[in-house]
Amino acid sequence: SAVISQKPSRDICQRGTSLTIQCQVDSQVTMMFWYRQQPGQSLTLIATANQGSEATYESGFVIDKFPISRPNLTFSTLTVSNMSPEDSSIYLCSVLDGYNTGELFFGEGSRLTVL
């Protein structure tokens, strides 16, 4: 199984600022995803991070608010821009197993609190 590292693990941010979350995988993976988990809620997919091209965003999420980079097959970043208290969530990076089993693995998450 892939080992996924996320940084920061948690942060407290001021309204109006932006924060970039990093996701590093210990092996090359084709599919990387970013999820959001709001307090007391289940996970919602933000976007699929595509290597070498623009991310594919789900309904309700836009690039201006959540710009994503994927410079290679082991690394991705998610930026939460112009934050408001409603952005307080756990943000999770995930990758699809490279052996085509369809198994999804997650990082430890980045817990953001916006004041």
Partner 1 sequence: KQEVTQIPAALSVPEGENLVLNCSFTDSAIYNLQWFRQDPGKGLTSLLLIQSSQREQTSGRLNASLDKSSGRSTLYIAASQPGDSATYLCAVSNFGNEKLTFGTGTRLTIIP
Instruction: Kindly tell me which of 76 and 107 has the beta carbon lying closer to partner 1.
Output: 107
Q: How far is the CB of 47 from partner 1 (least distance, A)?
A: 10
Euclidean distance between CA atoms 30 and 44, whole angstroms: 20
Whether the Cβ atoms of residue 67 and residue 111 lie closer than 8 Å to each other: no
Sign of torsion, CA 110 61 52 103?
positive
Q: Which of 85, 74, 78 is nearest to 114 (CA)?
A: 85
Cβ count within 10 A of residue 34: 24
Instruction: Kindly tell me which of 78 and 96 has the beta carbon lying closer to partner 1.
Output: 96
Q: What is the DSSP letter of 8?
A: -
Instruction: Kindly tell me which of 55 and 82 has the beta carbon lying closer to partner 1.
Output: 55
Q: How far is the CB of 65 from partner 1 (least distance, A)?
A: 20
Q: How far is the CB of 17 from partner 1 (least distance, A)?
A: 22
Interface residues with partner 1 (CB under 8 A) are: 1, 4, 6, 10, 31, 33, 41-45, 48, 90, 92, 94, 96, 101-109, 111
Structure tokens at 15: 């309204």
Instruction: Kindly tell me which of 65 and 111 has the beta carbon lying closer to partner 1.
Output: 111
